[in-house]
Structure formats: C-alpha cells, structure tokens
C-alpha cells in the first residue's frame, strides 16, 4: 500500500467537508425524508474531533510531537467512540449505510490504536483513507437534490492547483456531480491522459458510475466517447473499446434502462453485458455492468425490506463490483456477497455468492509469500458456510 505521503492534504480535508452530509445522504437516499436530525447530530460529534486532528496529521512532525500527543490521543479516542455510536445508530437504517458506518468505525479504531502504540505513520495512513468510504457511498446514490458547494473549507487549500482527478474526487465527495463530470470529461479528452490505457483506468469507470448512478445520464458518456474517438492518435485497441462502449450506451439509452429500478431489468442488462464479454474481466461489459449497478442500487433504496429479491439484488451488485471495483481500501463486492448470503442462505445463488466471496478474499490476501487469510476472515467464511449448509439441510416449506 502507498505511504501517507501519497495522499494530499486536500484529500484529507475533503472528508471534513463531507462528514456533515455523506452518511445522512445514504440514510435518506430513497428520498423519503429530507432531514435526519439524529444522524446529523452524530455526524457533528464525529466532525468536531476530526476537524482538530486532521490538520495535525498533515504535518508528520506535529503529529508525532510529544506536546501534541495527549490532545491527538483524546481526539482520536473521541472519534473512535463517536464512530461506534454512529455504527449502532446505522443498524436501524439501510444495510449500505450500516456498511459504510462500520467501515468508518473500523478506520477510526485503527487510527486510535496505532497512535497509542506509537505507530504514527500507520495511524496517519488510516486517517488518510477515510475518504474512500465517502466516494463508495456517493457513487452509488442518485442525485435527489442539489447540495450547496462546500467552498468554505477549501478557500485556502488552492483546489484549482490539484490534478484533475483529485479535483473530480473533491466534487464527488461534496456531491457536485455536474462539476465532477465536466472535470473528468475535459481530462479524458485532453492530451494529458495516458491514452493507451484510457479504457482501463479506474477513474474512467468512476466517471461512468457517476453518470449512470447519480445522474441517470448515458448521453454525456456517449458525447465524451465521440470526443475521444475524434483523436487521430487513438491506438487501435482503445478505439475498438470506445466503439464497443458507444454501441452499448446507444442500445441502453434507447431502452431507457438507466431510468428503471426493477430487478427484472437489472437481470436483463447484466445478462446483455455478459454476452458482450469473452472472458471474466472483459471490459466490453463495463457499460452494461455500470447500468445494472445503477438499477440495482435504486431497487435496494426503494425496497429496504430483507427478502429474497433484496438478497438477489445484493448478489447481482457483487457481480457488477467484481468487474468495476478498483479501490484497494474498501471492497463493496465482499459486502454485497456477504449480505446476499445472510439475507437468503437457502437461495440458489447463495452458494455462488459464497464461492465468489471466498475467491475474492483468497486473491486479496495472496502475494509472493503465499496466501495468508486472517483468522477473522476465516471465521466469517466458516459462519457463512454454516448458514448455507444449515439452510440446505432444513429448507423452508
């Protein structure tokens, strides 16, 4: 994993701007309640200590200074405790909110405990990756209302001097989706992007997710691809990829698929994507997988009940994430498969979800020294395996 130095102070400050709105937005993503005072109160309790400790974490010397030790320790402890309170509160909300809250609690706990044992670099690293939770949340939620720009916290941070992808990251976190899309579009159609790997960039997938999930708009990506295809220096393999994606966008736009929120359409779109793929990671299926994920996210937000259909939706979301995900910090794919199994351990797709989850963990914990799956992950897999086995032995009538 990269060191703390790989993360700019602006990305850390981005979390401060988000923390007052990100998780409340997840809790109200179905558009049923514009305000959530209990959640907002809890988020304020998280923001207060975080706003004090983050500036110190920008400066390694200040973060490790003996004179700041007690105040940093106190703020990290408060952050950890309040994140635990948020996690308890999130159990009453939808499962996606619960997942993000658990991840936030885990990150804040790691930051505190590592600081206490003197592992300051690791503590800063945990703090610096909190924004991954924010992006994972916002990329999956529809834009139900306009959010005021979070300009106040960034006036002195020289945001305009950031790399375009960093700027887009900021706008996604603050839910300024139109601005984020424009930054992505200008960058991808410029001469600055590594054109030979354009179709493989995780940031391009992020762009597609925002267009489909947040904006339900497939026209903008199609227009961007036209700008890219107009480049005379476009390598043959990139041109082929872009032409395939353009065709997929045109077909899905004609069907009006991205505006739907039913499970049958999601299944259909996902199957169409599979038909375009010649091998498991073939990116010719990307547009269909992104669109299917948008439909599934809406279905889950609109149908929060824990039933067989919800379980299948999470299973199918896990499949889309297996192709689309690229974050090393937060894995939505594993959450989706686990949730599918817990909601319907006796379903036909539960064993498939388990196999894919087991494979994901095995790959994730493998390296040059072999495979080293942590004890808690092994226990989780054993628990899920038992749920499936028990459900098969005692099927419900």
Give pTM, 2 decimals.
0.75
Q: Is residue 160 part of a domain?
A: no
Q: Is residue 88 part of a domain?
A: yes
Of all residues in the chain, the percent with pLDDT exceeding 90 is 47
**Last residue in a domain, options 124, 145, 166:** 145
Q: Is residue 139 part of a domain?
A: yes
Higher pLDDT pick, 320 / 367: 320
| The pLDDT of residue 244 | 95
| The pLDDT of residue 1 | 36
Q: Where are the alpha helices (DSSP H) in the chain?
A: 9-18, 22-27, 37-57, 60-64, 66-90, 95-116, 120-128, 131-138, 164-173, 177-188, 202-209, 219-229, 236-255, 263-276, 286-302, 308-324, 332-343, 350-364, 375-393
Both tokens of 94, joined, read 């939808």
Tens of pLDDT, residue by residue over 205-247, are 989 999 998 889 999 999 999 999 999 989 999 999 999 999 9
Confidence of residue 28 (pLDDT cuts 50, 70, 90): very low
| The pLDDT of residue 117 | 95
Tens of pLDDT, residue by residue over 300-337, are 888 878 899 999 999 999 999 988 887 655 668 898 99
- Are 22 and 137 a contacting pair, CB within 8 Å? yes
Q: Is residue 333 part of a domain?
A: yes
Left, alpha or beta for 8 (phi > 0: left; psi -120 to 50: alpha)?
A: beta
Tens of pLDDT, residue by residue over 4-22, are 433 444 444 344 444 433 4
| Gap between the Cα atoms of 48 and 60, Å rounded | 21
Q: Is residue 31 part of a domain?
A: yes
Q: Which of 269, 283, 148, 258 is nearest to 204 (CA)?
A: 283
Domain total for the chain? 2
The CATH number covering residue 73 comes to 1.20.120
Q: Is residue 92 part of a domain?
A: yes
Confidence of residue 159 (pLDDT cuts 50, 70, 90): low
**Last residue in a domain, options 145, 173, 197:** 145
**Last residue in a domain, options 87, 114, 145:** 145
370 three-state secondary structure: strand
| Gap between the Cα atoms of 124 and 345, Å rounded | 39
Rounded average pLDDT over 80-101: 79
Higher pLDDT pick, 101 / 106: 106
Q: Is residue 93 part of a domain?
A: yes
Q: Is residue 136 part of a domain?
A: yes
Average pLDDT, the chain: 81
Domain that holds residue 14: 1-145
């Amino acid at each position: 994993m990269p060191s703390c130095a790989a993360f700019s102070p602006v990305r850390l400050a981005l979390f401060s701007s988000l923390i007052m709105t990100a998780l409340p937005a997840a809790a109200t993503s179905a558009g049923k309640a514009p305000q959530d005072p209990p959640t907002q109160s809890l988020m304020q309790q998280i923001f207060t200590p975080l706003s004090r400790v983050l500036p110190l974490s920008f400066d390694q010397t200040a973060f490790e200074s003996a004179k700041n030790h007690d105040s940093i320790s106190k703020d990290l402890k408060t952050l950890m405790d309040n994140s635990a309170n948020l996690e308890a509160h999130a159990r009453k909300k939808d499962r996606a909110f619960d997942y993000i809250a658990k991840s936030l609690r885990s990150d804040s706990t790691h930051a505190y405990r590592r600081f206490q044992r003197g592992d300051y670099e690791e503590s800063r690293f945990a703090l610096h990756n909190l924004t991954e939770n924010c992006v994972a949340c916002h990329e999956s939620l529809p834009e139900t209302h306009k959010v005021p720009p979070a300009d106040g916290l960034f006036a002195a941070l020289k945001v305009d001097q950031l790399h375009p992808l960093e700027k887009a990251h900021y706008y996604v976190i603050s839910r300024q989706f139109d601005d984020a899309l424009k930054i992505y579009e200008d960058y991808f159609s410029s001469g600055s992007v590594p054109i030979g790997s354009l179709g493989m960039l995780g940031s391009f997938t992020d762009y597609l997710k925002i267009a489909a999930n947040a904006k339900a708009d497939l026209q903008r990506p199609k227009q961007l691809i036209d700008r890219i295809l107009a480049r005379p220096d476009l390598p043959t393999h990139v041109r082929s990829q872009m032409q395939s994606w353009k065709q997929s966008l045109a077909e899905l736009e004609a069907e009006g698929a991205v505006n739907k929120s039913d499970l049958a359409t999601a299944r259909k779109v996902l199957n169409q994507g599979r038909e375009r793929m010649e091998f498991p990671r073939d990116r010719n299926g990307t547009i269909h997988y992104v669109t299917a994920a948008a439909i599934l996210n809406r279905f889950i937000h609109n149908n929060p009940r824990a039933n067989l259909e919800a379980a299948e939706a999470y299973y199918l979301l896990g499949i889309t994430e297996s192709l689309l995900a690229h974050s090393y910090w937060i894995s939505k794919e594993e959450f989706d498969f686990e949730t599918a199994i817990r909601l319907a351990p006796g379903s036909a797709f539960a064993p498939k979800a388990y196999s894919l989850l087991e494979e994901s963990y095995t790959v994730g914990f493998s390296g040059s020294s072999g495979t080293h799956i942590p004890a808690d992950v092994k226990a989780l897999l054993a628990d899920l395996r038992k749920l499936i086995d028990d459900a098969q032995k005692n099927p419900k009538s």
